[in-house]
Structure 1
Amino acid sequence: MSAIPRSEVKLEETWNLEDLFKTEADYDARIKEIESDASAFAEKFEGKVTDAAAALEALKDYEKLYEKIIPAGTWVSLMQSEDQTNSDSQMRAAKFGSVMAKTGAKLSFFESELSQLPEEELKSAMDQSDEFRIYLKDVLRFKPHKLHPEVEKTLAAYQSTLDAPYDLYNVTKLVDIQFPDFKADGESFPNSYNLFEGEWETDPDTEKRRAAFKSFYEKLADYQHTTAKTYDMHLQIEKTDADLRGFKDVFESLLFNQEVDRELYDRQIDLIMSELAPHMRKYAKLLQKVHGMDRMTFADLKVPLDPSYEPKITIEESKKYIFDALSVMGDDYSEMLKRSYDERWTDFAQNKGKSTGAFCSSPYGVHPYILISWTGSMEDVFVLAHELGHAGHFYNAHNYQGIFNARPSLYFIEAPSTMNEMLMANHLLQSTDDPRFKRWVIASIVARTYYHNFVTHLLEAAYQRKVYERIDAGESVNAGVLNSLKRGVLEEFWGEGVTIEEGAELTWMRQPHYYMGLYPYTYSAGLTISTQVSKRILEEGEPAVQDWLKVLRAGGTKTPVELAKMAGVDITTDQPLKDTISYIGGLIDELEKLTEEIESAEVK
């Protein structure tokens, strides 16, 4: 069961990166082309972006250059993600970062000159070009926060250094930390990030699960001080940037690009912490009762409600679940799903050094790529549906929008992904009346879709907010502070019914999202939207589907509030969130009812 080297995985379980670059030589040629084009762009336009006409002319060349950079950056990133221990990939990524820093410094004049244009010139350019209207709107919005051109150039030159904390975090996590075997039931078992998250966290054997937990967190503890210092370095960079640019705090700085106000951010955290907690505590008690555990611990929260009913699903078998559940999205969407398998868009392999979790990368002009470590559980099918939601989003947005109009606010980014999880759940629920199967499906929704997005990521967000409040107060953090903050959030949410055992406070060490701004809370924000839209699709059918496809195709041309409104959801009020929390509570009530029904039938 221990992870194998990347060189030993089956080709059919890996992604085909040749759609980006067929050879290393092709990639090297692209890098030289980017460097040459950047120099030519600077020579042609530096000091000459003086009016709307010049701005639009430069933007056309800038767009072409950007379209060359994106596939190169994606190729480097994916090569590194598939095996962080590969020294060639590490060095290639470092070199790419250096080249991009130099290129960024060379091109930094452009946005500086754009931001120095009079407002009327920028608005004139916006009126003349739908293609660049969103880009120019962002330039206009950011105008008050732009620094002197020479300062911007210097910061751009240091970009790879400023990004170093995230790289250091990944090296510590995926290269340096080697987990020892652990013992349970008289046997020895291997452990790793992917094994713990993909196998042991959900293992129905309580002794094995808790032993894996203890072993995993004891090893994390050895690296807590280095990881905390790395994170503090990242936080101080964000704080300095926010201060230099005149934002009142880090929150305002990070929410600025999301185009949402602080009220939406705080509401998402506060309402879930207070109103979802009672439902999830009831779910924890149900798990404890069904599994006959003497006490409920943090290590037990991800155990399946009915593990004996959990089918093992091969990659090939996953196609039927994916195609059947998501076919409601129409023929074009279904064709994309088929292509994702046929053309090897997804990396399913489990190997040493592979990035943890799952993600979708969608380079403009190519096709999306998905990373997942396939274990064969139903959870994997939900995860794959989730990542295909991202793929479907950008597949549509890229087909209808230019490169600068395709990407929506981070606030909205998790709505299309969680929508696919809801469509998967709805499809499975409609496929049978068998109580045990229904309980299994609903438990999968609660344990995977809502636990992951509304609990795991939301508790990360609540913790992250406390961290940033500390940073805004002029303080720093270390392992002791981070452990205390994380433990406090976990204890507040789970109450007295769940024991937060030693090690649980180190959960903050597992999540790369903390290096991506205010990302964790957006999972629950996206799922709030997708829950409401999926209910519309169940009730209204095709009209709701068509509305959703229009949202996907809109890409980044609308704000999160506008995109949600297009789908029939008003996120300026707390009603969608309250409705979603109520829906989760209803699912947990249904689990209790089905469990009583099943247990009564078994007694008879």
Structure 2
Amino acid sequence: MAETQKLPLRKEVPVDLTWDLSTVYQNDDQFEEDFSAVQAALPELKKMAGTLSKNADALLEATQRLLTVSRRLEKVYVYAQLKNDQDTSESRYQAMYARSQSLAAQFGAAVAWFDPELLTISDQQMTTFYQQQPKLKAYKRLYDQTFAKRAHILGHEVEEVLAGADDIFSSGEKTFGILDNTDLSFPTVTDENGQSVQLSQGVYSILLESTNRKVRKQAFEKLYEVYDQFQHTLAATLTTNVKNHNFKAHLRHYGSALEAALSANEIPVKVYDNLVSEVNRHLDLLHRYVALRKQILGVDDLHMYDLYTSLVGKESPKYTFDEAKKVALDALQVMGPEYVSHVKEEFSQRWIDVVENRYKRSGGYSSGTYDTNPFILLNWKDNLDNLYTLIHETGHSMHSYYASHHQPYQYGDYSIFVAEIASTTNENILTDYLLDKFKDDPEMKRYVLNYYLDGFKGTVFRQTQFAEFEQYIHEQDAKGQPLTATFLDDYYRQLNQKYYGQSVISDPQISLEWSRIPHFYYNFYVYQYATGFAAASTLADNIVHGDQNNVDKYLNYLKSGSSDTPINVMRKAGVDMTKSDYLEKAFEIFEKRLNEFEALF
């Protein structure tokens, strides 16, 4: 019998396939020095309460000291997080990360006075301060973000209570996380090789891609048997979360929880409304794709568990990590030599933690802060999906690199609203590159088109479905409607039927899908996946088929950080996200590629 292949321990991974965290701190002692320095600074920050309105110099001093401590804290936090994630079994780094999280919470409490106190300064007084102390102008946008929320920020004592009660308010999300990740017990199922495997969220997603329909069906039914048993508890945790959002929105004098959530990122509600409206207007394209899926699979009845298996019916093209880096560099040539040089730096200077090791955090992400280079965590597998992951996370990292190198610290980060645009622009550029490269290879072209269409389905259509559900349950709770499991089940199934159309059977189990989606606890987060992908489709098309001006505008967006509102930053890039044009363009591209895919079959 062949020996079961085990994942390597962290110490067994070749050094060149690990990230180099010595660029953050040479050793843990340096981390401890900064940790202690931040800790020691917190009482001093608290003592500055009551000084902001004294004079212009006092406001400048308080602002600069707060940002200096924040900057140091971010470096401490990132180092601890990355150390923990590379091997979550090491108690030393578990403790280091936990201490850093606690320190971040202490910092939040220590500076909770700042915004309420800043709001006591009138616009006229601020004008005088800018004249008296010109250095304050460097922080004007920072102040303006707070002044824009003047009607929604409460008194110092109330803000301090809300900050201190954050753990209580997040109890619904935390309970769901513990139940979903730890306490739910999933049964054993049979994979396509006839092997018994323990069902989990990760295994489930893999089994749904199986070419064996019996495997897909069994995984689907067995997973939802578990959620069915706990749907009333999960309805309670979700209700707690929704009530938290509605309560805070009411307390802060917003018209709705949606308005409150979007206001935090300076996004007008019409961006959300336009997305839902345009996606609903183009559902015929999703219905066409689902009908084509039914035809290609050759089934009498298409079920929800048939929506993720490949329509090409072959294994993914293989890409080693070295091959993937070469493809990524070739695809990104359209971004110009400067951008590519930074990507080469990322690939050669150990910014990436590449392979899976025992106890390493799963998935992939881009991290880092203003005073570090960007870092990427991967769990590399030799396939097309991981090639896309590499170029996706590279998009995030280049965004961070350009923002931190062209903006001062206070504007060196960027809004979460624009974050996914940089990553998915890279993905769309890769798709264009591969379709051109394999234009005379129908088999590979089918594979890439299938990958793109499924990605669009999952990111634009599916995430908007989630967004529509999230908005509805918040509105219903605000009206006094109890969010019982039966109520949630019924609405979710109706919504699912509307999105996927008549060609697929909305199986009874899909009514429970709401109960297992962690993003419903993220406070109107998911819509940004859809707006981001749609905007990225337009930007990538402009870059690939446009001129140098389109590239320059895109690079200016990366360089802008948070120096302007997210909407204005995207306008500079060439996309007005308060209008529907970018969405219509994305659906045009989707329809064109759907036509190509249909023609190939």
Q: Give TM-score scaled by structure 1 length.
A: 0.89
The Cα RMSD (Å) is 2.9
Write the distance in 1 (CA, Å) between the matches of 2:53 and 2:582.
45
| Contact preservation (8 Å) 1:312, 1:377 | yes
Superposed displacement of residue 452, structure 1:
2.7
Partner of 2:411, secondary structure, is: coil
Deviation by residue 1:1-37 (Cα, 9 ceiling, x = unmatched): 9995975883555544454445555444433221211
When structure 1 is superposed on structure 2, of 129-138 and 481-490 the one drifting more is 481-490
Aligned length: 592
Identical-pair percentage? 24
Residue aligning to 1:363: 369
| Contact preservation (8 Å) 1:224, 1:509 | yes
Partner of 2:196, secondary structure, is: strand
Residue aligning to 1:191: 199
User: What is the 5 A alignment of 1:510-549?
Assistant: 510-549=516-555
Superposed displacement of residue 238, structure 1:
1.9
Partner of 1:370, secondary structure, is: strand
Q: Are the structure 2 counterparts of residues 371 and 479 from structure 1 closer, same or farther at C-alpha, using a change threshold of 3 Å?
A: farther
Write the distance in 1 (CA, Å) between the matches of 2:245 and 2:337.
44
1:377 to 383, 387, 390: 383
Q: Are the structure 2 counterparts of residues 184 and 427 from structure 1 closer, same or farther at C-alpha, using a change threshold of 3 Å?
A: closer
Write the letter of the residue equivalent to 1:386.
H
Q: Are the structure 2 counterparts of residues 7 and 561 from structure 1 closer, same or farther at C-alpha, using a change threshold of 3 Å?
A: closer
Residue aligning to 1:416: 422
Superposed displacement of residue 396, structure 1:
0.7
Write the distance in 1 (CA, Å) between the matches of 2:197 and 2:44.
57
Q: Are the structure 2 counterparts of residues 535 and 100 from structure 1 closer, same or farther at C-alpha, using a change threshold of 3 Å?
A: closer
1:241 to 244, 248, 270: 248
Write the distance in 1 (CA, Å) between the matches of 2:471 and 2:100.
32
Residue aligning to 2:13: 10
Residue aligning to 1:444: 451
Residue aligning to 1:323: 329
Partner of 1:457, secondary structure, is: helix
- Residue 60 (structure 1) aligned with residue 64 (structure 2): yes
Write the distance in 1 (CA, Å) between the matches of 2:267 and 2:187.
44
Residue aligning to 2:469: 463
Superposed displacement of residue 85, structure 1:
7.5
Write the distance in 2 (CA, Å) between the matches of 1:354 and 1:260.
36
Q: Are the structure 2 counterparts of residues 102 and 309 from structure 1 closer, same or farther at C-alpha, using a change threshold of 3 Å?
A: closer
Q: Are the structure 2 counterparts of residues 441 and 193 from structure 1 closer, same or farther at C-alpha, using a change threshold of 3 Å?
A: same
Superposed displacement of residue 575, structure 1:
2.3
Superposed displacement of residue 557, structure 1:
1.8
| Contact preservation (8 Å) 1:408, 1:559 | no
1:181 to 177, 188, 193: 188
Partner of 1:147, secondary structure, is: coil
Partner of 1:131, secondary structure, is: helix
Residue aligning to 2:158: 151
- Residue 141 (structure 1) aligned with residue 148 (structure 2): yes
When structure 1 is superposed on structure 2, of 100-109 and 423-432 the one drifting more is 100-109
Superposed displacement of residue 497, structure 1:
1.0
- Residue 117 (structure 1) aligned with residue 121 (structure 2): yes
Superposed displacement of residue 550, structure 1:
0.6
| Contact preservation (8 Å) 2:208, 2:216 | yes
Deviation by residue 1:50-98 (Cα, 9 ceiling, x = unmatched): 3333212221111111101112333444456567777766665554444
Write the distance in 2 (CA, Å) between the matches of 1:440 and 1:418.
19
Residue aligning to 2:591: 585
Q: Are the structure 2 counterparts of residues 370 and 279 from structure 1 closer, same or farther at C-alpha, using a change threshold of 3 Å?
A: same
2:215 to 208, 217, 221: 208
| Contact preservation (8 Å) 1:228, 1:477 | yes
Residue aligning to 1:507: 513
Residue aligning to 1:102: 106
| Contact preservation (8 Å) 1:98, 1:160 | no
- Residue 38 (structure 1) aligned with residue 42 (structure 2): yes
Write the distance in 1 (CA, Å) between the matches of 2:267 and 2:325.
37
Write the distance in 1 (CA, Å) between the matches of 2:5 and 2:235.
28
Superposed displacement of residue 502, structure 1:
3.8
Superposed displacement of residue 446, structure 1:
1.2
Write the distance in 2 (CA, Å) between the matches of 1:47 and 1:156.
21
Gaps of 5+ in 1: 596-604
Write the distance in 2 (CA, Å) between the matches of 1:506 and 1:465.
17
Deviation by residue 1:260-289 (Cα, 9 ceiling, x = unmatched): 2222211101220231x2112221222222
When structure 1 is superposed on structure 2, of 408-417 and 19-28 the one drifting more is 19-28
Write the letter of the residue equivalent to 2:58.
A
Superposed displacement of residue 552, structure 1:
0.8
Q: Are the structure 2 counterparts of residues 402 and 168 from structure 1 closer, same or farther at C-alpha, using a change threshold of 3 Å?
A: farther
User: What is the 5 A alignment of 1:587-602?
Assistant: 587-595=593-601
Residue aligning to 1:336: 342
Superposed displacement of residue 178, structure 1:
4.9
Partner of 2:376, secondary structure, is: strand
Write the distance in 2 (CA, Å) between the matches of 1:401 and 1:97.
26
Q: Are the structure 2 counterparts of residues 349 and 563 from structure 1 closer, same or farther at C-alpha, using a change threshold of 3 Å?
A: same
Partner of 1:360, secondary structure, is: strand
Partner of 2:409, secondary structure, is: coil
Q: Are the structure 2 counterparts of residues 263 and 408 from structure 1 closer, same or farther at C-alpha, using a change threshold of 3 Å?
A: same
| Contact preservation (8 Å) 2:119, 2:146 | yes
Residue aligning to 1:297: 303
Write the letter of the residue equivalent to 1:108.
A
Q: Are the structure 2 counterparts of residues 566 and 103 from structure 1 closer, same or farther at C-alpha, using a change threshold of 3 Å?
A: closer
Partner of 2:190, secondary structure, is: strand
| Contact preservation (8 Å) 1:405, 1:555 | yes
| Contact preservation (8 Å) 2:453, 2:594 | yes
| Contact preservation (8 Å) 2:191, 2:207 | no
Gaps of 5+ in 2: none
Q: Are the structure 2 counterparts of residues 25 and 280 from structure 1 closer, same or farther at C-alpha, using a change threshold of 3 Å?
A: same
Superposed displacement of residue 250, structure 1:
0.8
| Contact preservation (8 Å) 1:349, 1:374 | yes
Q: Give TM-score scaled by structure 2 length.
A: 0.89
